[in-house]
Structure 1
Amino acid sequence: MEEKNLHLKGDKTDKKMKAYKHLKKALMWHKVKELWSKGLNKSQISQEVGIHRKTVRHYLEMDEKEFYNWIGKRKNLPPKLHGYYDFVKEHLENHPYLSASQIEDRLKERYPDFPEVHSKTVYNFVQSIRSAHQIAKPKNKHVRVFEKREETAYGEEAQVDFGVYNLAKQGGGQQKVWVFAMVLSRSRQKFVHLQTSPFTTATSIYAHQLAFEYFQGVPRHIVYDQDRVFMVDENYGDLILTSDFQHYVQNESFEVVFCRKADPQTKGKIENVIKYVKYNFLRGREFTNIAGLNQSASDWLKRTGNRKKHSTTRLVPHHEWLKEKEYLLPIKNLLKEPEVASSKPYTVLKDHTISYKGNFYSLPVGTYKGENTQVLVSHEDGKLVVRSLEKAHIASHTISILKGKYIRNRDHARDKASGIEEKMVLAIDKLGNTDKAKEFIEGIRNDKPRYLNDNLRLILSKTGNQDTEVVSKAIDYCLENSYYNALKFTELIAYFKKEKEPALVISHRKPQVPQQANTTPATSKINTYEKIIQQ
């Protein structure tokens, strides 16, 4: 019965959507006819209402009766895309969160001879498959509000930021990938470089040079976060750069601009690029090797990232870059790969540590695979960096100047590969097993993957036997304000719990009079005292 009701509800929703689309088309048809009657030609009408010239011509060829018969007919799938039905259906079933834009990009990547069709055609094709097979797309209810800034001049500014993303590996497991991205603020031309270890100052400088080669020039200013890759300290507003980066800036054409931390108003463009790379390019891919992934990223930029109309400017970034590159400054430094610190193989001990210059340094649980397990160890930027024999990043430690010490990262002691999914299920169940609870726990996983275990443990230990209404209010507040933090969540539970408690009522009672106060004291007659005095 419940399934039937859901089906009927879905049918009603589909009918409402269809009626809404028909109404939009009808209003557009009347608008086209009105502008035509005023003497505008087809091209002018197309620019005025924002539809293709062929659609304008099609509308003008129909009278009102023909138009309503046309929109009432059931539309067939575009014949050009029939052969791709199974490919799209399989992708949507395996990855329902993929957007139509991502599906279009995957089709072009998989099939070099994919026909030239409008993105709207692909969108309708994807939506029809979703509807036919009831493949709903998970909704993200978080909307960040940004204030619109004036466009910068050509060649004036670029923005830089970093990101990290977990990719599934062929054969199982995950591979963490670090992202460097730069975007020219005016044209929105993007550049992306990926690697399997955190960016250091040296590798970041190399990524800058790759970006300048890609852009064929250097912008006058580059906006950054106050990142430790580039800064060593902030002295009451005076930013102190790392020596290598400061030397690089002094010998290149651009000036640095550091914005405040978490300041989307200043560097919202690059934040959107990082999100675009994660959720349009990386999401749903499998990792094979970093060289192949960087080549795929380059192809994606040519095909989608810089070739599709930007949602804000409504212009194609590549076309705008052809203008902007004329305003860029010349590149002073020649492209040079960063010097790779010499690595030496070290044997991993049974307790998941390595012995390095008289000290023991921890490694993640699971690194030791048996006798003769080895890792590569190097000294980079004052840190001890440990990589696998395949050069994948494993751990980093500050080098101790003392001897006989055990330098331990507490996170290494946890076997994160086992039990984490079970803990997530238990935490969701503790929070009521609702869609919002799932969204909140998944948000913690995406926002703080390194501290997921800590957050889950806190939720499991602090949210038992709580009022469901209080828990629901705390989850809503966290989702609305993007607070993916268990400590903040438990504090909100305590706050809403206290808020729900009834106010203390002070009753006004009559004061209790002690029993002794009602006792009547003994008295004597005055005549008795007078007789005593007269004697």
Structure 2
Amino acid sequence: MSIYNEVHRLRRNGFSNSAIARKLKISRNRVIEYGKMSPDEFYLFSISLQNRSKKLDPFREEILKWLKEHPDLTGAQVFDWLAERLDVSFVAEGTVRSYVNDLREAYHIPKILSEREFSAVPELPLGQQIQVDFGQKRMPTSDGTYKRLYFIGFILASSRYKYVEWLDRPFQTTDLIRMHENAFRYFGGMTIEMVYDQDRLLAVSENAGDLIMTAEFTRYQQTRKFKVYLCRKSDPESKGYVKKRIM
């Protein structure tokens, strides 16, 4: 109840939802949710939470242990750990994030961000690396509706030359192979390694994340003999050039 009252007090004082979330160390969505509730509605809501079981309750103690040991742990990392360490695959990532936020609030475990040291990305030699990213964008059409377009972008790490192709449907493996060949032709050659962003591969279209893992693309990669490097999930800093220049 104290958090609910504080949300409304800060709102009356003109603070934005994001600012309130930072001050109270709760999610912005929670601030918005509490802001819409009357005191009576919040009381009934809090009672329902006490009586409602959640899918992740059987793993509460394990998740709490992780959060206490690693206060900077993100919801996405907890989602991965549940799958890797406890073989939990029946919940969505959003459900895990919400559950983690609830545990942080209930057990007063603020998210403490660890300092990460950054340095300039060293210049790579010519022909060493191409970085690849996938994306999608809703574009207006001539009849006033919108259509979703999908793209793949390639960037040479040494010269920053770029090559982009678009499709009006999700990519297939044959598209991916053809676009790689077109990029090599445009650049005038092939690099030693190709770098792909796991987040984008997994998030864009229905099957973009699976394309690089297909037997057909693996045969192509083995024929071309380039190395494949997958960046860490949720970590754009491990990618470098393509994040800054394609998106």
TM-score (norm 1): 0.22
If you compute each CA radius of gyration, which structure gives the higher value, 1 or 2? 1
Q: TM-score, normalised by structure 2?
A: 0.47
Q: Kindly indicate whether structure 1 or structure 2 has the higher relative contact order, using CA contacts under 8 Å at least 6 residues apart.
A: 2
